[in-house]
Structure 1
């Protein structure tokens, strides 16, 4: 079967990772969650007090990211790759609002993006990969055979994220989650380095009123048509 590169970009909480994981499994492709990489760097910056509500030590983050070891390790129970930071599994520590509030600021640092983009390109150099993030189709893999741009209303995305966090046991309010979604949209779309934008040849996919199964089936068919072309 022909191997292609599938780039899935879009706004936060549009379900990019969920559909990308399912698509990779169906195609027997490698899945790379680039958002987890930025979240892991953010977790480190938070734990080292390089970023707080009042301060961002940009040079400290730049120095740190050059030394950090980031890789994905297969969880044999779930058959999913999980992000490891300096040898420790941090998958369970990066999906909370504490990290979400700061990740866009860390991701806006040009040197951080350059370092992680290089790692992502290395991971996908042999194709047969599904990668999701903010700049996959525009920067990481501008020649990807299939590019998708996921979008939905801020309110719909905040509601999904709110329910997800409650199910995890996090104590959050819907208003805080909505504010975080809107702030991340603004930072991601207006940063100077690799801003979030739809690639000219990407398929825009608004899933505001679409269930997970319908999303997957439609995207799966897009991929199969290209693979079997």
Structure 2
């Protein structure tokens, strides 16, 4: 089996940053699976379709390519909320499973981050990390991220969004957000990026041994 690092966690917990850092450190390809759901939602919105149109959402998911994402657009705040709606659809999640598992099956291994990597996509991954942080911490991080990108950053509204997404992602019937039974939980509330990266690297090294 290839060496797969599965990283899960809620929005703005730091999982994406850690996944990119680990992928670079271990020279592994990286897939932010959240972009797949954001791209699906974006395709619907650009076509003027409703986010709850299951048939159109599945068609959009099946037509995705991993190489043509406009990350700046997809990482906008409105796309995160829209993606959470689309991701709650079992049919959409099913349409994207094979694409994600195919990426993880690369001979050299891979790093994938999302919300159901360790539980659904790669249940046999050698390393599973569940990254979390307090909602207030995550809202602060997202506000700073948006401000740096020149976007409006209303902390109160962002905190409300974070809590709504947590509730929706955790309560959905298909692949709800939760830590895999064998995942190591990493709380980054009081850690800066270097401290969090060192902790994540320690988890990986322990699993490799």
TM-score range, shorter chain: over 0.9
* Cα distance in 1 for residues equivalent to 2:60 and 2:192: 40
More helix by share: 2
1:161 paired to 2:142: yes
Return the TM-score normalized by structure 1: 0.86
Deviation track 1:92-138 (CA, whole Å, cap 9, x = no partner) reads 11111221221111011111111112100001113521110000000
Structure 2 residue matching 1:71: 3-state secondary structure: coil
* Cα distance in 2 for residues equivalent to 1:216 and 1:3: 22
1:100 paired to 2:80: yes
Aligned residues: 208
* Cα distance in 2 for residues equivalent to 1:160 and 1:109: 28
Runs of 5+ unmatched residues, structure 1: 73-83
In the other structure, the counterpart of 2:46 is: 47
In the other structure, the counterpart of 1:116 is: 96
More strand by share: 1
Runs of 5+ unmatched residues, structure 2: none
In the other structure, the counterpart of 2:168 is: 187
Q: In the alignment, is the contact (CA less than 8 A) between 1:100 and 1:180 conserved in 2?
A: no
* Cα distance in 1 for residues equivalent to 2:199 and 2:57: 40
Cα displacement (A) at 1:63: 3.0
Cα displacement (A) at 1:60: 2.1
In the other structure, the counterpart of 1:7 is: 6
Return the TM-score normalized by structure 2: 0.94
CA RMSD of aligned residues (A): 1.5
Structure 1 residue matching 2:7: 3-state secondary structure: strand
1:208 paired to 2:184: no
Cα displacement (A) at 1:172: 2.9
* Cα distance in 2 for residues equivalent to 1:224 and 1:30: 18
In the other structure, the counterpart of 1:142 is: 123
